[in-house]
Copies of this chain bind each other. A is one copy, B any other.
Amino acid sequence: MVQKFNEHIVKSLPFLKEKKLLVACSGGLDSVVLTHLCAASKFDFAIAHCNFSLRGAESEGDETFVADLASQLGVECFVKQFNTEQEAKTKRLSVQMAARELRYQWFDELLTSKGYDYVLTAHHADDSLETFLINLSRGTGIQGLSGIPKMNGNIVRPLLSFSREEILEFATLEGKEWREDSSNASIKYLRNKIRHQIVPIVKELNPTFLQNFQHTQHFLRQTSDLAHNYLEELKSKLFRQRDGAVAIPIAELQQLNPLDAYIYGLLHSYGFTEWNDVKDLLTAESGKQVFSKTHRLLKNRDFLILAEIIPEIKGTYNLHLDKTSDGLPIKIQLEEVESFEKQTQNVVFLDMEKLIFPLVLRNWEKGDYFYPFGMQGKKKLSKFFKDEKMDLISKEKQWLLCSGDKIVWIVGKRADERFKVEESTRKIVKISWLK
């Protein structure tokens, strides 16, 4: 196996010879064999061992075993102990996910602080096949079947084209020792069933099953990359940024065929799952919505509006003259000024003596009306919103600046006629929305 390993390195990962490497070693069969192979190939490497403190004395034994292995091989050994269960609780993760996060985070720190180039892990072809079958049993997409690549950033997996049998045979023939993980049998029921009952028969189907499987996963990753790039290109064409939300033109969406595939591809990363409802939105009345846990999708005339669900910030807030707008949901500044400039969308000038302080910032309510600046008479806000072609999400996000129960400014949109600066005005207040 040493020879095959060397040939594989020369052919596929030749740069490793020149680099400073960290070998992730748990003390188990796979990573111990990887460590010995790196030593046999005279790589410039150190060992990194995570003690997740999950199996008491057994964990301590693993740590000692790996430290001994390192000194036996004459290489440096970094060890870190983690309180994995605590971390899992704090971050509300499964113990396995927490261990994974801690592990890769620590590796990153080591790479940076100690000047190593790559972390080597001992994933092999059987690991990939088992994961493939686990995901298949649960239902998955191309990602779940594509497996992990030989290289991903600074993580390298030089055993990915080797089988578990080869690794075991090497360790046995060469008399290498390793630590058995007692949790293997208990925790990982599904993986073990696959490993012991399914994989052996599946491999009998074809003498080169594992090699063929690697090619399959390689092709799937390629297709997955293409589809990903395509969807990103499509998003940059179809998704138009608008007021912190995304507007998607329905007519263009409907030209895509097969529509289902595009809708899923473009929107699944926003957490939607009710695809029939999403599809129905295309032809629904304006105002219809579909929600995911993180996003909402609103039909608004010729567009679908995709917006993140932001925790409610509704409420009423007081605004004082010359005070900073700390604690307000948006930045509004009030200041008395001498002269009057041209109003813009975000800056209005009003007659200060007509206002009752503190002013109040609030969202709109049913029945709201105001006297649009430059017009005669009053107008319902609902009518104003409609004329402005505002969608539901924009309406919900709209702030109103009020004096008592009167609307002074539809923030960023229109001031009220009643508070405008006139010839008789003695004090002018400048109100700015600082985006």
Contacts and interface: CB of A to CB of B under 8 A. Distances in A.
Given A145-B145, A222-B264, A231-B226, A201 B205 contact: no
Contacts of A220: 141-142, 145
Contacts of A198: 198, 201-202, 205
Interface stretch (A44-52, A56-64, A189-197): A189-197
Contact of A139 (B134, B140, B190, B213): B213
Given A202-B198, A261-B226, A137 B209 contact: yes
Given A133-B202, A145-B145, A201-B197, A265 B226 contact: yes
Interface string A183-211: 00000001001100110011011101101
A216 interface: yes
Interface in A354-392: none
Given A201-B197, A230-B226, A261-B222, A212 B139 contact: yes
A225 B138 contact: no
A277 to B, nearest CB: 16
Nearest to A266: B226
Given A205-B190, A227-B227, A212 B138 contact: yes
B223 A142 contact: yes
Interface string A248-259: 000000000110
A79 interface: no
A396 interface: no
Chain A binding surface, main DSSP class: helix
Nearest to A233: B230
A200 to B, nearest CB: 10
A216 B141 contact: yes
A103 to B, nearest CB: 27
Contacts of A230: 226-227, 229-230
Nearest to A222: B261
A361 B107 CA distance: 72
Interface residues on A, range: 35 or more
Max chain B C-beta neighbours (<10 A), residue from A142, A194, A220, A229: A142
A262 to B, nearest CB: 7
Max chain B C-beta neighbours (<10 A), residue from A133, A137, A198, A224: A137
A213 to B, nearest CB: 7
A219 interface: yes
Contacts of A73: none
A130 to B, nearest CB: 11
Contact of A222 (B204, B219, B265): B265
Contacts of A204: 193
A383 to B, nearest CB: 43
B193 A205 contact: yes
Contact of A227 (B139, B211, B223): B223
Given A227-B227, A230-B226, A265-B226, A206 B138 contact: yes
A407 to B, nearest CB: 49
A411 to B, nearest CB: 42
B142 A206 contact: no
Nearest to A189: B205
B226 A137 contact: no
Contacts of A222: 258, 260-261, 264-265
A145 B226 CA distance: 17
A299 to B, nearest CB: 23
Contacts of A226: 227, 230-231, 261-262, 265
A340 to B, nearest CB: 55
Please list the 5 inter-chain residue pairs (A to B) with the smallest Cβ-Cβ separation, ordered nearest first: A139-B212, A222-B261, A230-B230, A137-B205, A141-B219
Given A222-B261, A226-B230, A227-B227, 14 more contacts: A138-B206, A138-B212, A139-B213, A144-B216, A145-B220, A190-B205, A194-B205, A198-B205, A221-B261, A223-B223, A223-B224, A225-B258, A226-B231, A226-B262
